Structure 1
Amino acid sequence: MDWDKLRIFHAVADAGSLTHAGDKLNLSQSAVSRQIRALEESLNATLFHRHARGLILTEQGELLFDATSAMSKRLDAASARIRDSEDEVFGELRVTTTFGFGTLWLAPRLPHLYEKFPDLKVDLMLEERVLDLPMREADVAIRMKEPSQADLIRKRLMTVRMKLYASRKYVDKHGIPETAADISEHRLICQNPSAAQVGASAVMVQGLMTHNPQSLLTVNNYFGVLQGVLHNLGIGVLPDYVTEDFPDLVHVLPESDSSEVPVYLAYPEELRHSRRIQAFRDFVQEEIIAHRKHLKALGKL
């Protein structure tokens, strides 16, 4: 069904006159009449009773007018929301990041985002595979290396290091290793070598494995590694951003810390002016600043 004809029909039904509708639409009476006649022919129905005082809707015309009225209200509402979107944040935002960062750092902080923007709908996609942002597989990504895809806006957020952690209960019972060679007397908890992970973590684990840990627990993501550490199973390789939320973790063998791993936020160039993207970007930056301040207060930075 032709949208333009429906628009003209709605104006005629609302005005009750071809002439008045034409004035409103800046069309001649004959042009309006031709559009109405063409719409009636396409529907094989008479939409107006014509008499000297104007036009009255037929039963079929009333059905169509109800539909175009509902459409008009929805379009007006959408137009208002679009105009208001310069000041409001609403709608769906698809965010992709790694399983570890998403579960251990981002998800616990999302309540702060929803407090500011309760109408926002976040679809959090956690996977190690790099989604194609230019092809709109996601709207925004947080990754542990600079994205190589073209037509992306990139912002370096922070750096992280992979470090060795143990629970306080574990070190009270088993002691703290003094050198990397002492890992031979402990159980090492780390990502499975076959799991996707940042290069710095893989290099760190390879170095530790040369010291023949007494026992080994491998998991395919950092959330699983953290659970093993919190349940006193051994010494785990974890990103340092977990320390704020789990202050009782003990950092061991600092000389074994990995090199710095950059964390980037990226989104397509075409979304540069998206209020949802801007709100999420500002939220992440604010949380990182608060994270650093808290670590500094704890003497961990």
Structure 2
Amino acid sequence: MDWDKLRIFHAVADVGSLTHAGDRLNLSQSAVSRQIRALEESLGATLFHRHARGLILTEQGELLHDATSAMSKRLETASARIKDSEEEVFGELRVTTTFGFGLLWLAPRLPKLYDKYPDLKVDLMLEERVLDLPMREADVAIRMKEPSQADLIRKRLMSVQMLLYASRDYLEKNGAPQTLDDIADHRLICQNTDSAQVSAGATLVQLLMTCNPHSTLTVNNYFGVLQGVLNNLGIGVLPDYVTQDFPDLVRILPEIGSAEVPVFLAYPEELRQSQRIAAFRDFVQEEIIAYRKSLRTQEKT
């Protein structure tokens, strides 16, 4: 089968237009059309339905597109491995993690990674949805549970808990609850239990809601919860890793907290030799060691 025709077919299937595919490939619309017709003739099948809104894949076209998509991802992997140098770290690294961990822990530490590897290009993809690493939806993931996908290298990084925090200003004005029942006198800031989140966090929120808080503010990610707490709106349910970077936060009801949530770093087996992956993995591990040391220092003071 002609690889060039498959490349053109894949571009047309992705954009649904001969003209746009031609623009992407630097080919004329007529040249693209000829290649598609030739591919259809060689296969003895119609690959696209012509529609007023563009080109729509037929059932046979869907089958071929699945195959070319898999080929494309394999080629991307091969290209990434070829580009990896034994001495240099450069190129694009697609990192996926949750909104909370990505915004509140990882992103503030990325300047250190760029200082060390200025030619690295990080594409930070914040998703509660678990991306498919073997299918190369991302290169490396940091997730709040052990990945279940096969053919992954995984390493447990640390554990986190969802705890209760308030700002010093809020507590000076409203006082601190002494028992769980005292939540009834405060505004609770948390994720809605229907929001995508770790089950341990949702379980803690469900418990707190039984205390009938005076008022609530629900946000669909921990960054929003943090902003509410920092702006003195109430008592918030937040992951414990925020305490290092926001020393104004005060933990409330220290006996109350979620179950521990494991944090894992994972990447495909086929990227085992990637220098970009190794650089990112080592950077994250070094930052976690520094984070733990900082917490121990805070506990002593």
- State if a TM-score over 0.5 links the two structures: yes
- How is 1:235-274 mapped onto 2 (pairs within 5 angstroms)? 235-274=235-274
- Distance, in Å, in 2 between the alignment partners of 1:83 and 1:125 is 22
CA deviations 1:77-99 (Å, max 9, x no partner) are: xx9x9688101100000000000
- Distance, in Å, in 2 between the alignment partners of 1:231 and 1:120 is 35
- Distance, in Å, in 2 between the alignment partners of 1:211 and 1:120 is 49
Task: Report SS of the residue matched to 2:264.
Answer: strand
CA deviations 1:102-151 (Å, max 9, x no partner) are: 00000000000001100000000001000000000000000000001111
Give the structure 2 partner of residue 233 of structure 1: 233
Give the structure 1 partner of residue 169 of structure 2: 169
Deviation of 1:153 after TM superposition, in Å, equals 0.5
Give the structure 2 partner of residue 184 of structure 1: 184
Q: Is the Cα–Cα contact under 8 Å of residues 84 and 275 in structure 2 kept in the other structure? A: no
- Give the 3 Å change call, closer, same or farther, for CA 188–84 of structure 1 in structure 2: closer
Q: Is the Cα–Cα contact under 8 Å of residues 187 and 213 in structure 2 kept in the other structure? A: yes
Give the residue type in structure 2 aligned to 1:292. Answer: R
CA deviations 1:185-215 (Å, max 9, x no partner) are: 0000000221100011011000001100000
Flag structure 2 segments of 5+ consecutive residues without an equivalent. Answer: 1-78
Give the residue type in structure 1 aligned to 2:156. Answer: R
- Distance, in Å, in 2 between the alignment partners of 1:240 and 1:170 is 19
CA RMSD of aligned residues (A): 1.7
Task: Report SS of the residue matched to 1:298.
Answer: helix
Task: Report SS of the residue matched to 2:131.
Answer: coil
Task: Report SS of the residue matched to 1:202.
Answer: helix
Give the structure 1 partner of residue 117 of structure 2: 117
Q: Does 1:130 align with 2:130?
A: yes
- Distance, in Å, in 1 between the alignment partners of 2:232 and 2:146 is 35
Give the structure 2 partner of residue 214 of structure 1: 214
- Distance, in Å, in 2 between the alignment partners of 1:116 and 1:269 is 25
- Give the 3 Å change call, closer, same or farther, for CA 84–222 of structure 1 in structure 2: closer
Give the structure 1 partner of residue 29 of structure 2: none
- Distance, in Å, in 2 between the alignment partners of 1:83 and 1:111 is 23
Q: What TM-score do you get using the length of structure 2 for normalisation? A: 0.72
Runs of 4+ displaced beyond 6 Å: none
- Distance, in Å, in 2 between the alignment partners of 1:131 and 1:155 is 17
- How is 1:7-156 mapped onto 2 (pairs within 5 angstroms)? 85-156=85-156
- Distance, in Å, in 2 between the alignment partners of 1:248 and 1:84 is 42
Give the residue type in structure 1 aligned to 2:264. Answer: Y
Aligned length: 222
- Distance, in Å, in 2 between the alignment partners of 1:181 and 1:82 is 60
Give the residue type in structure 2 aligned to 1:219. Answer: V
- Give the 3 Å change call, closer, same or farther, for CA 100–186 of structure 1 in structure 2: same
Give the structure 2 partner of residue 43 of structure 1: none
Q: Percent of pairs identical after alignment? A: 78
Deviation of 1:182 after TM superposition, in Å, equals 0.4
Give the structure 2 partner of residue 289 of structure 1: 289
Task: Report SS of the residue matched to 1:147.
Answer: coil
Q: Is the Cα–Cα contact under 8 Å of residues 187 and 235 in structure 2 kept in the other structure? A: yes
Give the residue type in structure 1 aligned to 2:144. Answer: M
Flag structure 1 segments of 5+ consecutive residues without an equivalent. Answer: 1-78
Deviation of 1:294 after TM superposition, in Å, equals 0.8
- Distance, in Å, in 2 between the alignment partners of 1:239 and 1:198 is 11
- How is 1:196-207 mapped onto 2 (pairs within 5 angstroms)? 196-207=196-207
Name the larger-Rg structure: 1
Deviation of 1:248 after TM superposition, in Å, equals 1.1
